[in-house]
Amino acid sequence: MKKLLTIMSLAFVGLTFGQEEEPKFNVTGSVDAYFRANLSSANDEAGSGDFSAFNNDSGFSAGLANVTLSYEGETVGFIADLAYGPRMDVYNPGNVVNEAYMYWNVSDKLMMMMGRFNNWMGYETLSAANNFHYSMSHQFTYSTRNFNGLVAQYQLSDDFRAGVGIMNPAEYTTGNKTGDFSIGAGITYKQTTGISFLSSQSASYIDFKTAFDVSDNLNVKVNVHNADFGYDDASTGQLWTAEQVGAVVLGAEGFTSISAYPQIKSSDKMSWGMRLEYMMFDGVDESVMEDLNVFTPTLTARYSVGDLTIIPELRLDSASEDIFTDGDGEATGGLTAFNLAAVYTF
C-alpha cells in the first residue's frame, strides 16, 4: 500500500510539472481594419495621400490578417508569419510570407538564423499589432523592410549583443536576380540602444535607435535613419512608382529620417503617444523642386478591451513644397488626416 501511494504521488508530481510546461508549438496573429478621413483635403480621387503608401485611401478598409506559426525549442525552432491584405500588398507586393526563418542556438551565446525576416532597423514592423501607431512612418515606407539571408547573433556580455548577416540585395523582396549580396551588421546595448548598417547592391542604410524611461508611465524612443540609394537603378524595390504621391517621383537619391516616440500610459487600458518624424529627402531633381523636407507629427491613443485595441489617430504632414492638395484641389504644403483603427490579437 505504501509503495502504491508513493507511485501515485510521483505520477501526480509528474502530471503537475507536465501541465506547467508551455507548449512549444504556438499559433498567434492579428486582424485589423480602419476608417480614414482627410480633414484638409478632398476624400475622393482628387484628394491627397500622405505618400506613406499604406492607409492613403479615404473610407473603410481592411488592413491586414496575419497568422504566425512558431515552434520554439530550446536549441532549434522556426517562425512562419503569413499575412494577407492591403498592408501586405503595399509593403510586400506579391507575397503572403512576411517572415519565415529557422534558428539554431549553437551555444548559450551564439544564435544562427536563416530565412526571411523583418528589418531590425527602426521601431516599426508590418503588423499593426506590433506598432504603437496605426499609420506608418515615412522611414518604414522608403527604407528596406525585409531581409533574406543568414544572420549570426553573438552575446558579447550581459549588456552587449552583436550581429552580422549576409543576405540577398535589399532591393529585392524575394530571390536574387543579380548574383550580388548585401552585408549587414550591428551592435546593441541592453536591448535599448543600437546602431546598425547595411551595404547592398545599390543602396546603403545606417540606423541608430535608443529608448529611455522618464518615469514609470512615460518613456521615449528615438530613431535616426539614413538611406542612400541609386534612383536610376531599376532594381530598387522601395516603391518608387508613379502611383505614389509626392517625393517618390522626384528622383531622390536618399533620405534622412529623425523620429521621436514619446508614450505615456494613463491607465491599464489607455495609452497615448506621439510620433514626431522629420524627413529630409536628398538629391531631389532640381528641375521639379528644391530638396524636400516633411515634418509629420502623429498623435495616437490606444484603448484596450480584452484582446481588441481601438486606435484613434490624428496625423499632420507639413512639407517644404506644395506636394498635397487642399479641399478645392489646389496645391498646398500640408495635409491633415484622421484614422480610427481596430486591431484584434490572438
Domain assignment of residue 13, yes or no: no
Residue range(s) defining the domain that contains residue 193: 24-345
Domain assignment of residue 100, yes or no: yes
Residue 5 lies in a domain: no
Per-residue pLDDT, 21:
52
* 73 DSSP assignment: -
Inter-residue contact 163 to 185 (CB < 8 Å): yes
As given in the structure block, the three cell numbers for residue 63 are 488592413
pLDDT given at position 17: 43
Residue 72 in any domain: the answer is yes
For position 250, what pLDDT does the model report?
52
Residue with cell 528641375: 287
Assess if residue 71 is contained within a domain. yes
3-class SS at 345?
A: strand
Which residue stretches of the chain have pLDDT < 70? 1-23, 230-251, 283-290
pLDDT, one tens digit per residue, over 154-173 is 999 999 999 999 999 887 77
Given this model, what pLDDT does residue 327 score? 86
Pairwise CA distance, residues 13 & 71, whole Å: 26
Dist. CA 161–CA 302, nearest whole Å: 32
pLDDT digits (tens, 9 = 90+) for 166-198: 999 887 777 787 888 999 999 999 989 999 999
**pLDDT of amino acid 194:** 97
Q: How far apart are CA 53 and CA 137, in angstroms?
A: 10
For 100, the grid coordinates are 519565415
CA distance 223 to 25: 34
Task: Please report the DSSP string for 135-175 in residue order.
Answer: SPPHHHHHS--EEEEEEEEEE-SSSEEEEEEEES-TT-SSS
Q: So what's the pLDDT on residue 329? A: 84
Judge whether 246 lies within some domain: yes
pLDDT of residue 248: 45
pLDDT for the residue 246: 39
Domain annotation covers residue 244: yes
Count the domains in the chain. Answer: 1
CATH code: domain of residue 99: 2.40.160.10
**Residue 259: per-residue pLDDT:** 98
Q: What are the residues whose beta carbons fall under 8 Å from the beta carbon of 3, sequence distance 6 or more?
A: none
Question: Does 18 reside within a domain?
Answer: no
pTM: 0.85
- Measured from the Cβ of residue 36, the count of other Cβ atoms closer than 10 Å reads 23
